[in-house]
Structure 1
Amino acid sequence: MFTKLRLRLHHFLERIMPEKRLFLRTDSETRFMRLSPISQIIAILGSAAFIGWTIIATAIFLLDTIGSGNFRDQARRDQAIYEERLNALALERDNRSQEALAAQQRFNIALEQVSSIQSALLTSEDHRRELERGINVMQATLRRYMNQREILQVELDATATQIDPENGIAIDANTAQAIGSTMDYVNDTLADVSQQRDYAHARSLRAHDQMASLELEIQFLEEKANQIFRQLEDAMTISVKPLDKMFRNAGLNIDRLLEQIKRGYSGQGGALSPISYMPDGLDVVDPTVNRANNILNQLDKLNIYRIAAEKAPFAMPVKGTFRFTSGYGPRWGEMHRGTDFAAKSGAPIYATADGVVTRAEWGSGYGRVVYVKHAFGIETRYAHMAKIRVKKGQRVSRGQRIGDMGNSGRSTGTHLHYEVRVNGKDVNPMIYIKAGRDVF
């Protein structure tokens, strides 16, 4: 039964695809190879499969090439946009800093003016009090002399009643002269005291007018200073808040960070020193001085953040054209403890923060590797380099070139393996890079 079916299939195929013979001739003999229909069909199917596989592989390769080109172009555009935004933010930060410094200078000038006016007002107040005391003394003197005049008038009237017109008894000449002299002295004294009182009263009125003018000027300067304060406080809020958010997003303890920077930069004095102003040595609380000191504290905090930003790895280790090829996390059953950046061989690799090189050598699977120790217990690692450009113990700055991108060690292609470790524990480097992007 099987043989009959095979013969029928053979005859059917013979009609569609006749048997062919392939002759192979040499100098001494001639041979031939018989190609049955089934062999021809198998050969055709094999050729078709090979051609189809070639077409599919070529299409996949072309699509991958086109996709990679588009990805590189997109990466270039994203990099250009990022650098543009970085430059704009840096320019805006510089402008804000200049505005803050200019506003601080205006505030210092206004504070000096307010202080001088307050001193003049206090001097005027003391002068007014002295005038009031002088007026009171002159009024008391005037009352005393008036009382004396009244007493003398009573004595004069009593003496006059002692005169006897009928007998022609007169007052002694010496007595009359003494009484007249006394009356003249009293009248002159009263006139002089009255004149001094009028003069003191006029001076008191002028002092009151000067005080009213000074109070108006102080009110104007206080409004001007309040406007300057508001501008400074707004500038501080705009400048300090993003930095505060950046450090918190990076998982750093803000209070500990500020304290550590202050210990390293503990010089005293200068423009950011707290203001201490107590008129006449009085221990009083001045809201204006407190407000100014709050702004100075914010400026000091901004300066500390600027120093800390240079010491923490917020920058990118590569610039120009590159692409992310692998992120932090599990990969192929193992933990990938960093982020990979792919670029052309020899591309510059930069330190992401200020620090000291603790290792610059061949590191087994890392290949040529550089370790940099930073502040706050942070360490960064740069692996698979083609060339190392720093030495152990060397101090480096953020943005300084430390090596060239390569393919050394256990690597499948040209790239940089970048790690961040805090107190010896690896963390995702993108936490710092993304936090820095929000500000820089």
Structure 2
Amino acid sequence: MTTSASTAPSLSTDGNFLRFWSGQTLSQLGAQLGLLAFPVLAVSLLGATAFEVGALNAAATAAFLLVGLPAGAWVDRWLKRKVMIAADLVRMAAMAAIPLLWWLDVLMMWQLYLVAAVVGVATVFFDVSYQSIVPILVPGPAVAEANAKLETTAQISRIGGPALGGALLAVASAPLLFIGESLGYLASALFLARTRVGEVLVPMEGRAPLAAEIREGLSFVVRHPLISRIVLATAGFNTFSTILYTLTPVLVLRELGLGPAGLGVALSVGSVGGLLGALAAPWLGRRVGEGTLIPLAAVAGGAAMLGLPLTLLAGPGWPALALLVAAEFIASFATLVYNILQVTMRQRVCPPRLLGRMNASIRFVVFGVIPLAALSAGLLAGWLGLSGALWVAAAGGLLPALPLLFSPLLGMKKLPESVEPARA
């Protein structure tokens, strides 16, 4: 990147960033349609059990365990923009297969598992490249602004996507929503093709073997005093929140009887909190302290989980829906504040040569727990019943903030810029 921080244009007028931003906004909107369509299709049309819903979520995220670590080393060797375009095209084709199979009247659960797994592998490569390309795409001081803008529109998509999906489900079958997700991935690929990235392919000569590069990325994450705690807390939060949200479609569609529209409304209105969190994160960071805000947001996000099992006590209808929306609102607000600050910190302190491996190592852990938690959700529901599983997960969600509360982050006004120079 040749533009200096002092002469860099505002991101709001930077046409190159705006193209990247536009593509990701459309991709997120399409992804939200699929996020609603998958469980509705499985539960309502294919009669999936709680365990099968958990297995579906596990299939979608198992790739972070299977290819997460080598993906980071490969991404550090490849041009990240091209990786993202290829991943978008794979996801587009996989999602388009679902309405075709449905139209042919041959759609079955195992095909949903397969599509989810293929999309999951492509998403691993896309996400590792996505988080690694932002510090290359924009000047260093603008990284936090770029993350906030990207997360703001992602949250707008999370608001509009489920609501739009719920409305479409009232007049169309769930498989048709996958067409919208497929088009979103196509839009992302087209905008990425028009985005310029000042990235130079690293020569292969003199590079360490793949296994050694993977170890280097893992070592950086484990030894960093702040990142290691972030990873521990995020993995714990993802474990318990995955159990809750895997069971949420069963809770909303069967126990509370709110229907697909109710699920869409709860996700959309609750996501307004995420939008406000993304907008408020920079201001809150200045007022409260960037470091201090990370553990406080983790506490708030964990406490919000209690709202889901409480809906069973509120009874069906509007009381349950109102409580569900409130829980989603608070959890989304806290999660977005937490994510923007901790991702910005990671991008600032990591040497550029390690960005792909650092992000992949973190996602291997924090996303690797998701398929295990998704499977555990079905097992817990079968063992303790839906109510018992929800209460166990909600109580457990209060624990992950502890490593952050007892860390140097509490009381820290400004996040560090760098702790390790790039290797010569």
Q: Taking structure 1 as the reference length, what is the TM-score of the superposition? A: 0.22
Q: Return the structure number with greater relative CO, CA threshold 8 A, min gap 6.
A: 2
Larger helix proportion, structure 1 or 2? 2
Larger strand proportion, structure 1 or 2? 1
Q: Taking structure 2 as the reference length, what is the TM-score of the superposition? A: 0.23
